[in-house]
A and B are shown apart, each in its own frame.
Chain A
Amino acid sequence: MADVVTQEAVLAELEAILLDVIGDDLLLDGPLTMATSFDQDLQLESIEFVALSERLLETYGDQVDFVGWLAEMELDEIIALTVGQLVDFVVAQANGEAAPADA
């Protein structure tokens, strides 16, 4: 059965993935928030963002259409992505698509 995916859960998962992908080098003063931007705040290298996406795909890939989502974005939109945009997208898709599959 599929549990409801909450914003808090996805945020926590994302923080764990970031720590795992980037390690001690992660620039994080305090907790990760919805307003944190990957480029400006975390200064994620683009190759690190790819690694992050891959980990999210492993975790939520069967519930969330990441490729379709990124395919619709322009380069500058991907660069400007915030944690909140990513979390909201995962939450919306995971809950929207988990329910029918579980019925």
Chain B
Amino acid sequence: MPDVVANGLKFHTQHVTHGDPDPARPQVVMLHGLVIDNLSSWYYTIANPMAMVADVHLFDLRGHGRSEMPKTGYTVDDNVDDLVALLDLWGIDGPVHLFGNSFGGVVSLAFAHRYPERVASLFLIEAHFAVEGWGEHMAGSLALAAFGLDEDAVQAWLAENADRKLSRLAKRSERFLMETSLIDDLQAEQPIGWLDEIICPTYAMYGSESDILDRARELEAKVPGCELEIVPDCSHSLLTEQAGLVRERALAWIERVGSA
């Protein structure tokens, strides 16, 4: 059953297991990044290898992929509420291993802060959380994309030159950015002041060329016991640029903390 209703919205989910689902194995939930991302970035990289040793749960965050796109409700807390509702729906009340990429990383962190008893570990890739000046940064990158996509010239170029995939993704992204409260909600996020209250084992990976490398240092400094790995010559798109390496680290991580 890929489509479920949780927290009042329709979500596209995928339960990836090797053989029958097995509650005795580590339960892993993977959360993807913003706007042009969806659960397929996990499906293509880590979900299937991970499913050889764990039960893997994927879903498209609200507004993304094949999930419903409400007009409002895109704060980090809204996404945490979605995750709670989905876990309840899936009947998972024991601690889960959360994998978060970019924006999925901040949702994972916030979930671990609000529900420490429900999180066994965090595996974060390029976690993108609010720091001082976050609002301006989001306004800069996201709103620019929104306005850029709205220009007739860009639309015409896309229609003529881009392939089917790109133009569909661009249209969907434009709708997401222009017709929902996403940008306003994200700009309103306040810097996180509770990183030192995270109590689960945490592994964080960032690319050396990432534009948010300051988050890496902040995680390492504040999250107790956080293990940080900076991957040379990689950007914010670490998951797809170094899928093999990330997969290796993810599998080793679950082997270490999976029985906890």
Q: Are the C-beta atoms of A68 and B66 separated by less than 8 Å?
A: no
- Cβ contacts B37-60/A at 8 Å (1 or 0 each): 011110111001101100000001
Quick check: is B168 within 8 A (CB to CB) of the other chain?
yes
Contact A68 B2 (CB under 8 A): no
Chain B residues within 8 Å of chain A by Cβ, number: 28
Assess whether A54 is in contact with B2, with CB atoms less than 8 Å apart.
Answer: yes
From residue A48, how far is it (CB to closest CB) to chain B in Å? 9
- Pick the contact of B44: A25, A43, A65, A75 (CB < 8 A): A75
Residues of A contacting B243 in the complex (Cβ-Cβ under 8 angstroms): 74-75
Contact of B65 with A by CB under 8 A = yes
Q: Considering the complex, which residues of chain A in the window 3-48 have a beta carbon less than 8 Å from any beta carbon of chain B? A: 25, 27, 43-47
Query: Which A-chain residue is minimally distant from B45 (CB atoms)?
Result: A75
Interface residues of B in 1-35 (CB under 8 A from A): 2, 12, 14, 16-18
Q: Is A67 within 8 A of B51, CB to CB?
A: yes
> Is A89 at the interface (CB under 8 A from chain B)?
no
Q: Is residue B256 within 8 Å, beta carbon to beta carbon, of the partner chain? A: no
The answer to whether B165 and A44 touch across the interface, beta carbons within 8 angstroms, is yes
Q: How far is the CA of A44 from the CA of B163 in the complex (A)?
A: 10
Least CB distance, B62 to chain A, in whole angstroms: 15
Minimal Cβ-Cβ distance residue in B for A53: B43
A86 within 8 A of B: no
Q: Which of the residues B16, B18, B165, B240 comes within 8 Å of A45, measured between beta carbons?
A: B165
Q: Which of B40, B51, B163 has the most chain A CB atoms closer than 10 A to its own CB? A: B40
Q: Which of B165, B240, B243 has the most CB of A within 10 A?
A: B165
Q: Which of A25, A45, A79 has the most CB of B within 10 A?
A: A45
CB <8 Å contact, B49 and A71: yes
Q: What 9 pairs between A and B have smallest CB-CB spacing?
A: A46-B40, A70-B48, A43-B164, A71-B48, A75-B243, A71-B49, A47-B40, A67-B18, A47-B65
Given contacts A45-B168, A50-B14, A67-B16, 11 further A-B contacts (CB under 8 A): A25-B168, A43-B164, A43-B165, A46-B38, A47-B38, A47-B66, A51-B66, A53-B43, A67-B17, A71-B18, A71-B48
Q: Can you name 29 A-B pairs with beta carbons within 8 Å?
A: A25-B164, A27-B164, A43-B163, A43-B164, A43-B165, A44-B165, A45-B40, A45-B168, A45-B169, A46-B43, A46-B44, A47-B12, A47-B60, A47-B66, A50-B14, A50-B39, A50-B40, A51-B66, A54-B2, A65-B18, A67-B16, A67-B17, A67-B18, A67-B48, A68-B18, A68-B52, A71-B51, A73-B48, A79-B44
Interface residues of B (CB under 8 A from A): 2, 12, 14, 16-18, 38-41, 43-45, 48-49, 51-52, 60, 65-66, 163-165, 168-169, 240, 243-244
